[in-house]
Structures are given as structure tokens and as C-alpha cells.
Amino acid sequence: MNGIIVLDKPKGPTSARVSLCVKQMLGVKAAHAGTLDPNVTGVLPILLGNGIKLLEYFQEHDKTYVCLMETEQPFSNETITQTLKEFEGKIYQRPPEMSAVAKNIRTRNIFEIKVLETKDNLILFSAHCQHGTYVRALVNDIGKILGTKTSMLELRRVTSGPFNENETVSLTRLQDAVALKDEKPELLASIIHPLEYAVRNFPKAEVRESAVKNIMNGADVFKAGVTSITGHVVKGTPVALMNSGRLIGVGEALFDKKTIDGMRSGAVIKTKKVIK
């Protein structure tokens, strides 16, 4: 079984524990893309079976969070809005002590941060940011600008790359679907998406049937083996390798689309992962 589940992670268990639960329920390999802390809820893509090979392509997606922050004293909506706007763009962060990564200062990009609602000393805001941004550290830094202590009360991830909370399913719903898989197989089928769904936003190369065997054995994709390329392709872009609507792998573009279109021969995409 290959595929992807867009799970709504509950508060409490670690992301690794959630992946283990899915593995035990379905009896297949499972791995999550983008760790959420135990007390954080929201979008947690889980790849299944050979889909795990694609993990690296989903871990570095942009993320969007909704955070409930508390300040020691109330501030006007204007002050909060202006302060949050100061954090748009490149910021510097040191990972929190509880983090498992090295505590070196690093840069991250905040693409958009905005106030959603305020009440007394509670602020609800959203942040669209680069992967690896620590929202708890962001909350602490906001407090330093405001000149007060701030605390993160709740945090939810509402998007992870192309996946959003509207398409998530709970562990309970998955468990129920597994229990009813013989009586109502359509329930589980609606939860486990094919890998083609996972790469729906990738640029795509349609490869000829005659080239599939070599590609599945790890050979690069040559111009003669490609019937069409769609989407925005630049050198280094991950490209979904398709054959009659079926994902057979992911490669890395060796040239931009315009150059590839003008080529008559030669390798155009380096095969990185194959899905069997």
C-alpha cells in the first residue's frame, strides 16, 4: 500500500507516536513529514509504503500556523498589528532548549503574519513561514519588542505545503474506517490518497511507456523518452515522473523548461526516486 494521509494531529502524542499508530492500524510503513510538538495540533502529512521515499520533498514546505498568545498586559490592536509586522521577512532564531536540533542561531523567513483577533491580553494571530520556524521562539521575541512577558497558549498548523486543515482526518476517523474496511471499503479509500494526489502541485513530465523500465531501474530521463512537461520548471526543480497518470518517480530537472523544450536529445531530468 502506497499513499498519503493528511492527518489532524491531536494534542498529546508526539508526531512519531502518531506515525506509529498509523503504521500499526494499516500494517504498512508510515512516516510523517514535518514534526509537530506534542501539544501542537493540526496538519501532519503521513506517507505510506514506498511513498516514504518522497519524504524529503514534503518536509521543507512552507507552513502556516494559528497561534493564541497571552501577554502580561493588554495592548491596543494597532500596537499588536504594528509589532507583528516587524517580524515579516528574514528573522534570526535560536531553537528552544526543548528542541532536539543544535542550538545555533539561524535565519528563517516569515512571509506573512497578521492579527486575527484580540481580547484583553489574548492575541490570536496567523503566521505563514518557512519550514523550521519556531513559533514559540517567535512569541518570546514578540514579547521582547512589546516589553512584556508573552506565552504561547495554543498552536495549530493549518497548512503544510499544499495540504490544509480542510482535508485532514482524525485518528479516530481513521481507526473507524480501518474497523469497517471489509463492510465499507470506500471509507478507507477516501482517507488514503494516492501518491499522485501528493504531487499534484509538482511540475510533471509525461514519459513514454518505452522509457518506464529504464527509469524504474534508476536511469535518467532523456528527451526522447518525454512526451510533455507541464508546470514551472527551473534547473534543480523536483519533477514528478508520470506515465499514463501513474506516478513512477521523482526527478530533478537538469535544465529549465524552455531549454528542455528546445533540446532534441540528451538527459533532461535526473531520476532521484522511483516508486514501484
Catalytic residues: 37
195, 54 Cβ separation under 8 angstroms: yes
- How many Cα neighbours within 13 Å face the side chain of 210? 6
Phi-psi region of 89 (alpha: psi -120 to 50; beta: other; left: phi over 0): left
Q: What is the dihedral of CA 253, 255, 259, 265, to 10 degrees?
A: -80
Residue type, 214: N
Query: Which cell numbers in the block locate residue 162?
Result: 499544499
Distance, in Å, from the CA atom of 138 to the CA atom of 108, rounded to the nearest integer, reads: 11
Contact 226, 261 (CB under 8 A): no
Half-sphere exposure (Cβ direction) of 194: Cα atoms closer than 13 Å: 7
Given the C-alpha cell 502518531, which residue does it identify?
Answer: 18
Q: How far apart are CA 202 and CA 110, in angstroms?
A: 23
The rounded distance, in Å, linking the Cα atoms of 257 and 207 is 15
DSSP category for residue 173: H
Report the DSSP beta bridge partners of residue 222.
Answer: 267
